[in-house]
Amino acid sequence: ESLGGDAGALIDVQTASHAFAPGQGEGQHIVSPLFQLSLSHAGNGSEVRVWGLSSPITVVVPIYSVLMDQLSQMLFPQQARCVHWSNGTYSTQGCSVAAV
């Protein structure tokens, strides 16, 4: 599988979590913590653009819901969203929540 058209590239994966979503644009209201995943070329650290994949990249994020109240536990599956940063704003294009 090729990421960004470079079939032989070595790719680094970086992850981070944020208590609040950084860089919210106009009309966006992300109130939950945010999980970040970034891909870069191992050789020079430059961003890897992902496009044209024949199968999706799947990311599993464990959710610790024990400390949530009952209403939050019930609403969480309905409110979970997948977004990515694109051109200075969050976008849902090409990104989806498969299961909660």
pLDDT one-digit tens code per residue, 57-91? 888 888 878 888 999 888 888 888 888 888 778 88
pTM, to two decimals: 0.64
Q: Average of pLDDT values for 48-58?
A: 83
Q: Average of pLDDT values for 48-53?
A: 81
Beta-sheet strands, E only, within the chain = 11-18, 34-41, 84-86, 89-91
Paired residues of 12 in beta bridges: 40
Cα(4)–Cα(26) distance, rounded to whole angstroms? Answer: 29
- Per-residue pLDDT at 25: 64
Side-chain half-sphere CA neighbours of 71 within 13 A = 0
Q: Average of pLDDT values for 16-28?
A: 74
* Mean pLDDT of the residues in the chain: 80
Report the candidate in 1, 36, 10 with the shortest Cα–Cα distance to residue 22: 36
Length in residues, the chain = 100
Q: Which residue is it, tokens 């929540």?
A: 97
- Per-residue pLDDT at 71: 92
